[in-house]
Structure 1
Amino acid sequence: MLKLYGFAATRSLRVLWALNELDAEFEFVSVNLLTGEQHRPEFLRINPAGKVPVLVDGDVVLTESAAIVIYLAEKYPDKGLLPVDRKQLAQAYRWVMFAMTELEQPLWRITRHSWLYPEDQRIPAEIPAASQEFIAMAAVLEDHMTGRQFIVGDTITIADCVTAYLMDWANEYHLIDEHPQLRAYLERMYARPTAPLRIAEALARIDLEVA
């Protein structure tokens, strides 16, 4: 059985989304980042980087959420997360890379300098700079989504599993307020019965467990 190591509102959510879309049987293993479980020797043997998510599929151990989504889509080709048409497949890969490089990186900068880094390591000027970078690249996706339900083709693909989570992340920072196509896409994607928890919901569950 597939085993996914993850935690709450992390990028584990996009892997959960893919697993749900694929209707794959798997075991979820929670790695509590708040208590430092990612630094325990038994987890570091799985991922020396000490990060989640990690997928274990027999003797295959895979890190990096986008890579895991692609791997799963290839493992279950009949489920349709990878387009059959070569041109559409190329576009799906293109938008996955766009999401990871142009959209996720500025969101990480904002997160690090807003609250993740210790206060003495934060650079406040990074937040508006990264916000503008994200907004500029989000405008590219905004234009692309005009008249579309999904990023590539007429059904959900790897590009959506990777990107929808980022739209929710950006929404937490009010970075898609001026992008109506992306807001509609966000709501449409999370209305799917296969959608994972939204980030705010996942964070609220952590708070309840801690309380």
Structure 2
Amino acid sequence: MTLALYGHPFSSYTWKALIPLYANGTAFEFREVGEEHPQNAEFVQAAHPAGKFPVLVDGDITVIEATSVVEHLALRHPGPAPLIPEDPAQASVTRMLDRVFDNYVMGGVMRVVMAYIVGKNGPDPAEVTAGKEGLLRAYRWIERWLEANTLPPHVSLVTCAAAPSLFYADWIERIPEDCPRLAALRAELLALPPVARCVDDARPYRPLFPPGAPDRD
């Protein structure tokens, strides 16, 4: 049975699941969740405890949460992209960095985005400031880590987490000049064909970005 991925082209966590599928040339059907496809939204509401996507269906297996989707693909549908390193120690580091990019980079992005969504009369300045300060702190931690360590080869779980989070994070708070390694990593990730495909497919939805999408990337 062909894999089916439920998500939205503008969703960072959908990108996280799409990148490994594209990188390994895995056959799958994309089922967009939106007003034009109510049946897909209904499925996601039933499949996920919070009604969130992405959701992967692989035969009689349903996988929720983007990190778990990547882990499932690495186990059940391996390909040329080394999603999870074979060495246990390297795999542990890969999973650690996955959490850093999800929790502290994408987490900062979502704090600012939610301030705009919730603030009908304008975002709460304190929330916007806190989100941006959190991003800067995460940027500098990752910069120090990159100075002392080497990332696993692309496309790994780290790639899948870092690419969408850094793409949107730089829209919220530009990566500063004192983080050249991180800025270079973002550029490197956006040049990868699986990531570039996600960026291009999401272009029609840029007006939906609550803080306003910049005219770049």
Q: Normalization by structure 2: what TM-score?
A: 0.81
1:63 aligned to 2:64? yes
1:157-183, Cα deviation, whole Å (9 max, x unpaired): 111111111000111113313322122
1:173 aligned to 2:175? no
Q: Normalization by structure 1: what TM-score?
A: 0.83
In the alignment, is the contact (CA less than 8 A) between 1:131 and 1:175 conserved in 2?
no
Give the Cα–Cα distance (whole angstroms) in 2 for the partners of residues 45 and 118 of structure 1: 29
Which letter does structure 1 place at the counterpart of 2:131?
A
Give the Cα–Cα distance (whole angstroms) in 2 for the partners of residues 38 and 207 of structure 1: 24
In the alignment, is the contact (CA less than 8 A) between 1:168 and 1:186 conserved in 2?
yes
Give the Cα–Cα distance (whole angstroms) in 2 for the partners of residues 207 and 123 of structure 1: 22
Give the Cα–Cα distance (whole angstroms) in 1 for the partners of residues 33 and 153 of structure 2: 36
Match of 2:186 in 1: 186
Runs of at least 4 residues off by over 4 Å: none
Unpaired runs of 5+ residues, structure 2, are 208-217
CA drift at 1:190:
1.6
1:31 aligned to 2:33? yes
CA drift at 1:27:
0.4
Give the Cα–Cα distance (whole angstroms) in 1 for the partners of residues 39 and 100 of structure 2: 28
- Would the alpha carbon gap of residues 140 and 42 (structure 1) be closer, same or farther in structure 2, given more than 3 Å must change? closer
In the alignment, is the contact (CA less than 8 A) between 1:171 and 1:177 conserved in 2?
no
1:171-210, Cα deviation, whole Å (9 max, x unpaired): 1113313322122111111212222322xx55531379xx
1:124 aligned to 2:125? yes
Number of matched residues? 202
1:152 aligned to 2:154? no
Quote the RMSD (CA, aligned, Å). 2.6
Aligned runs of 1:17-56 on 2, under 5 Å? 17-32=19-34, 37=38, 41-56=42-57
Unpaired runs of 5+ residues, structure 1, are none
In the alignment, is the contact (CA less than 8 A) between 1:53 and 1:65 conserved in 2?
yes
In the alignment, is the contact (CA less than 8 A) between 1:91 and 1:152 conserved in 2?
no
Which letter does structure 2 place at the counterpart of 1:60?
I
Which letter does structure 1 place at the counterpart of 2:50?
A
Match of 1:204 in 2: 203
Match of 1:15 in 2: 17
In the alignment, is the contact (CA less than 8 A) between 1:96 and 1:159 conserved in 2?
yes
Give the Cα–Cα distance (whole angstroms) in 1 for the partners of residues 130 and 49 of structure 2: 32
Give the Cα–Cα distance (whole angstroms) in 2 for the partners of residues 60 and 121 of structure 1: 43
CA drift at 1:76:
3.2
